[in-house]
């Protein structure tokens, strides 16, 4: 029997392998890197069923245009002559409407809730995993009246969809964050959210899969496919040809290029972001988003990670220090007493979020193929949604009914 080949060993590829090996499927993961660092290792690790609004939402267009004039802003599309970027922006603008957002909400919510439940199961099944899922919710802190209005409106919307949301006053915030001042007009707390250490999760999962017999081919770049009719028979790499029973495309921001090799369209842009770790002094306790700057704060006891900015960057991986400064400056703007130190360049982590233009992932069979599945495009929610995605892909692989409805994630929706 030939193995199932998973292209891409990010968190989506690993969770797909996890659920496939549970079904007794022989799996090989092929990655063009040594898997020491990708978008799945240094992100903010937030598990966010509360994030039911896709990136492509009506408010983002007016905000995005304003933000484009600031090099330290949370969202940035560098204007340049690039056909792929122009096509992606056109689809983004088209998707950023009320009707599309309403249609997306149940799909995003159900995938996130499934994933959170799977993380809880995972923690029980693997107590040794040190994924340290911290189930203390996520706080959205705001300083301005306009953002307060938006966040409170969003809290009401989330409640309408059955999610818990608590509106906190500055007094309430002091109880949540007793060790230092958090300068905010208020906050919304989503108690159903959680956070974890993505590097610890990733390291555990990779080791576990290796021990379970999943084969990893490192430094092996996929360059093409051998096809016959509706099937892919082999994956062609720079290290040679690998026979395949089935193929899963989990290539993150590069998935569009893999789709192109197979003759279908999968619009995708890398959304570059940065993070850095600081000594947690005085200790921040609550996972928080500093909403005006969209900076994520993920505390892990003695350390805390700050992460943010979204620069629609294609697959350019250079570090733009001005954007890192934007994250850094927001720390003391919100936590005036925090002992923040600007990180050295080698302490700055960067990652490319795989962004589809409508903000929904691609999950399901590739158009025109009976043995190719896709799991990609999770944008800023790839950690949050990876277990659910892996489970659904394993179900499709095994021709089973899926645990949740997946029409909203149709792979060929832009084909």
Ligand X SMILES: Cc1cc2nc3c(=O)[nH]c(=O)nc-3n(C[C@H](O)[C@H](O)[C@H](O)COP(=O)(O)OP(=O)(O)OC[C@H]3O[C@@H](n4cnc5c(N)ncnc54)[C@H](O)[C@@H]3O)c2cc1C
User: Is residue 7 near ligand X by the rule CB under 6 A?
Assistant: yes
CB of 262 to ligand X, least distance (A): 12
Cα angle: 360, vertex 362, 367; to 5 degrees: 140
User: Is residue 290 near ligand X by the rule CB under 6 A?
Assistant: no
Instruction: For residues 187 and 127, give the distance between their C-alpha atoms in angstroms, rounded to a whole number.
Output: 33
Of the listed pieces 42-50, 71-79, 205-213, 337-345, which binds ligand X according to CB under 6 A? 42-50
The DSSP secondary-structure symbol of 366 reads P
Kindly write down the DSSP assignment for every residue of 231-259, as one continuous string: EEEEEEETTEEEE-SEEEE--GGGHHHHH
CB of 293 to ligand X, least distance (A): 13
The number of beta carbons lying within 10 Å of the beta carbon of residue 119 is: 21
Determine which residue in the list 314, 357, 382, 390 makes contact with ligand X, applying CB under 6 A: 382
Interface mask toward ligand X for 203-242; x: CB under 6 A: ------------------xx--------------------
Which residue's entry shows tokens 């959680």?
A: 194
The DSSP secondary-structure symbol of 163 reads -
User: Is residue 249 near ligand X by the rule CB under 6 A?
Assistant: no
CB of 275 to ligand X, least distance (A): 5
Determine which residue in the list 376, 390, 393, 406 makes contact with ligand X, applying CB under 6 A: 376
172 vs 218 by CB, closer to ligand X: 218
User: Is residue 11 near ligand X by the rule CB under 6 A?
Assistant: yes
307 vs 359 by CB, closer to ligand X: 307
In sequence order, which residues have a C-beta less than 8 Å from that of residue 91 and are 6 or more positions away? 267, 357, 358, 414
Interface mask toward ligand X for 326-365; x: CB under 6 A: -------------------------x-xx-----------
Instruction: For residues 294 and 303, give the distance between their C-alpha atoms in angstroms, rounded to a whole number.
Output: 20
Which spans in 96-164 are helix H?
A: 98-125, 145-160
User: Is residue 46 near ligand X by the rule CB under 6 A?
Assistant: yes
Instruction: For residues 307 and 146, give the distance between their C-alpha atoms in angstroms, rounded to a whole number.
Output: 23
- Tell me which residues touch ligand X (CB under 6 A): 7-13, 30-33, 38-40, 43-46, 221-222, 250-254, 258, 273-275, 296, 307, 351, 353-354, 376, 378-384
């Amino acid at each position: 029997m030939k193995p199932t080949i998973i292209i891409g060993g990010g968190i989506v590829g690993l969770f797909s392998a996890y659920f496939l090996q549970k079904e007794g499927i022989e799996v090989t993961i092929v990655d063009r890197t040594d898997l020491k660092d990708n978008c799945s290792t240094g992100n903010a690790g937030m598990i966010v069923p509360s994030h039911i609004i896709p990136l492509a939402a009506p408010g983002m267009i007016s905000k995005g245009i304003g933000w484009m004039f600031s090099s330290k802003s949370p969202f940035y599309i560098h204007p340049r002559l690039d056909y792929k970027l122009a096509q992606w922006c056109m689809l983004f603008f088209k998707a950023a409407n009320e009707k599309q957002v309403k249609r997306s909400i149940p799909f995003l919510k159900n995938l996130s809730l499934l994933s959170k439940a799977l993380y809880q199961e995972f923690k029980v099944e693997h107590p040794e995993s040190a994924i340290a899922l911290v189930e203390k919710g996520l706080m959205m802190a705001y300083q301005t009246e306009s953002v307060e209005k938006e966040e409170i409106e969003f809290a009401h919307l989330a409640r309408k969809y059955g999610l818990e949301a608590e509106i906190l006053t500055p007094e309430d915030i002091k109880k949540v964050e007793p060790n230092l001042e958090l300068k905010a007009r208020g906050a919304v707390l989503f108690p159903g959210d959680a956070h974890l250490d993505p590097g610890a999760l990733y390291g555990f999962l990779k080791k576990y899969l290796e021990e379970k017999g999943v084969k990893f081919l490192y430094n092996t770049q996929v360059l093409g496919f051998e096809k016959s009719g509706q099937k892919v028979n082999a994956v062609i790499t720079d290290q040679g040809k690998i026979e395949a029973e089935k193929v899963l495309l989990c290539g993150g921001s590069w998935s569009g290029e893999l789709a192109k090799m197979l003759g279908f369209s999968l619009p995708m842009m890398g959304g570059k972001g940065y993070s850095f770790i600081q000594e947690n002094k005085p200790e921040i306790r609550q996972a928080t988003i500093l909403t005006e700057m969209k900076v994520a704060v993920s505390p892990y006891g003695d350390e805390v990670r700050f992460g943010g900015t979204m620069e629609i960057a294609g697959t350019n991986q250079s570090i733009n220090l001005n954007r890192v400064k934007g994250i850094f400056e927001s720390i003391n703007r919100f936590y005036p007493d925090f002992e923040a130190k600007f990180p050295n360049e080698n302490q700055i982590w960067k990652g490319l979020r795989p962004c589809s233009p409508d903000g929904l992932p691609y999950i399901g069979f590739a158009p025109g193929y009976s043995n190719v599945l896709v799991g990609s495009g999770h944008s800023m929610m790839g950690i949050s949604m990876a277990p659910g995605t892996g489970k659904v892909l394993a179900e499709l692989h095994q021709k089973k009914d899926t645990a949740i409805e997946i029409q909203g994630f149709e792979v060929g929706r832009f084909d």
